[in-house]
Amino acid sequence: MKFVDEYRFFGKAGNGGDGVVRWRREKFVPKGGPNGGNGGKGGDFIVEAIRDINRLSRISNKVEHEAEKGQDGGSNSKTGRDGQDFILQLPIGSIITNNDTGEIVDLTNDGERVILLKGGAGGLGNEHFKSASNRQPRECTKGAEAASGTFTVELRLIADIGLVGLPNAGKTSLLNALTNADAKVGAYEFTTLDPNLGVTYGIVIADIPGLIEGAHKGRGLGMQFLRHISRTRLILHCISLERVDPVTDYLTVRAELDQFPGVHDIPEQVLLTKSDTVSAETIAHVRQLFAERSMQTLTVSVIDDEQLKNLQDTLVSIVRAS
């Protein structure tokens, strides 16, 4: 299933049911009065946040949604049944924009519900118009027309830690090692085409697809995934020790991150990956290069259980202290 993080749809709440003209007709009551009931209220159009980042992928082929119309009134003063609400489930982190009014709704909590459009009020039956001077009213009203609109949903993943770096920097392997996420890994660039999530000790980690120079202008996978970094509490910048110039790699990705609003102020930790592929002297040299820029670094190898445990403990401490 292809990952979708933007979705457009037309939504409509339910119209109100119509009021009706009815008369009381019973044996031995030849001149019964009005008893037409009111219409029921139309259903509301509601959005609900759920923990499923692939939810948009499952509904993206349906572009129109509508709540149920209220039932018309009935005889014997019976009010029509209210229309059923329509509940559109969207992933946590969805930002819904009403394209007609500019109003924005941000779903940030699991189970959170927001009424986007209210259902129309039910119409009035002829009994409502009965009075001392109008004993046989023949008027009734139709149910109110409900609100509608076109909406755009933009998904921005909410995670404690966002893994970023150039393609093939070891981000997905690290996610799998820390969280047992079982995401696809390959020895080539752009193995990760969609964000992956994993959890360790209650900390949510997001593997953001590889960025390259010019990503904010659409190169590589483009900036479509930069938005997912803006809601992380910590950026874990992964740099492969196999690379010729790790500092330049860091600066390349950092320049792309700084192009996206809201990312610049997120705390960052540099992580040197694949430490098992180089000598201790090389690791020390690279760490010194970053130290000269007043930047502390961590190192890890996904095949070293002790390093993984130390990294895990460090990340949990950083996130819980933030």
Residue that terminates a domain, selected from 155, 183, 205: 155
| pLDDT (0 to 100) of residue 202 | 85
Q: Are residues 181 and 80 in the same domain?
A: no
Q: Are residues 177 and 308 in the same domain?
A: yes
For range 163-189, the mean pLDDT: 75
Residue-wise DSSP of 8-23: EEEEEPPPPPPP---B
Decide which of 68 and 201 is more confident: 68
H or E, element range at 285: helix 280-291
Q: Which residue has the tokens 């009994």?
A: 127
Q: Give the CATH number, domain containing residue 53.
A: 2.70.210.12
For range 194-217, the mean pLDDT: 71
Q: Are residues 24 and 83 in the same domain?
A: yes
- In whole angstroms, how far apart are CA 190 and each of 167, 185, 205, 256, 299? 6, 10, 19, 17, 23
Q: Is the pLDDT of residue 198 over 60?
A: yes
Structural domain that includes position 265: 161-321
Q: Are residues 141 and 169 in the same domain?
A: no
Q: Which residue has the tokens 């049944």?
A: 81
Q: Are residues 168 and 59 in the same domain?
A: no
For range 153-158, the mean pLDDT: 89
Q: d(Cα 303, Cα 192) in Å, to the nearest integer?
A: 20
Residue that terminates a domain, selected from 107, 138, 155: 155
Residue that terminates a domain, selected from 155, 180, 207: 155
Residue 265: both structure tokens together: 């102020």
For range 142-167, the mean pLDDT: 92
- 30-70 residue pLDDT tens: 667 899 999 999 999 999 999 888 899 899 999 999 999 99
Instruction: Output the average pLDDT for the chain.
Output: 87
Decide which of 128 and 262 is more confident: 128
Q: Is the pLDDT of residue 225 over 70?
A: no
Q: Are residues 58 and 95 in the same domain?
A: yes
| pLDDT (0 to 100) of residue 30 | 63
Strand partners for 60:
none
For range 295-319, the mean pLDDT: 94
Q: Is the pLDDT of residue 102 over 70?
A: yes
Question: Structural domain tally of the chain?
Answer: 2
| pLDDT (0 to 100) of residue 33 | 84
| pLDDT (0 to 100) of residue 168 | 82
Q: Are residues 82 and 198 in the same domain?
A: no
Q: Is the pLDDT of residue 4 over 60?
A: yes
Q: Are residues 99 and 185 in the same domain?
A: no
| pLDDT (0 to 100) of residue 187 | 42
- The residue type found at 58 is R
Q: Are residues 168 and 136 in the same domain?
A: no
Please state, for a pLDDT cut of 70, what percent of the chain lies above it. 89
Q: Is the pLDDT of residue 150 over 50?
A: yes
Q: 122: buried, middle or exposed (CB in 10 Å: 19+, 13-18, 0-12)?
A: buried
Residue-wise DSSP of 67-91: PPPPPPP-STTPPPPPPPPEEEEEE
Q: Is the pLDDT of residue 280 over 90?
A: yes
Q: Are residues 151 and 203 in the same domain?
A: no
Q: Are residues 63 and 151 in the same domain?
A: yes
Q: Give the CATH number, domain containing residue 205.
A: 3.40.50.300
| pLDDT (0 to 100) of residue 210 | 58
Lowest pLDDT segment from 27-31, 80-84, 215-219:
215-219
The model's confidence at residue 220, banded by pLDDT at 50, 70 and 90, is: very low
Q: Are residues 144 and 166 in the same domain?
A: no
Give 207's contacts (C-beta < 8 A, 6+ positions apart): 163, 171, 172, 174, 175, 181, 183, 192, 195, 196, 197, 198
- The residue type found at 321 is A
Distance of CA 237 to the CA centre of its chain: 24
For range 220-249, the mean pLDDT: 82
For range 13-30, the mean pLDDT: 86
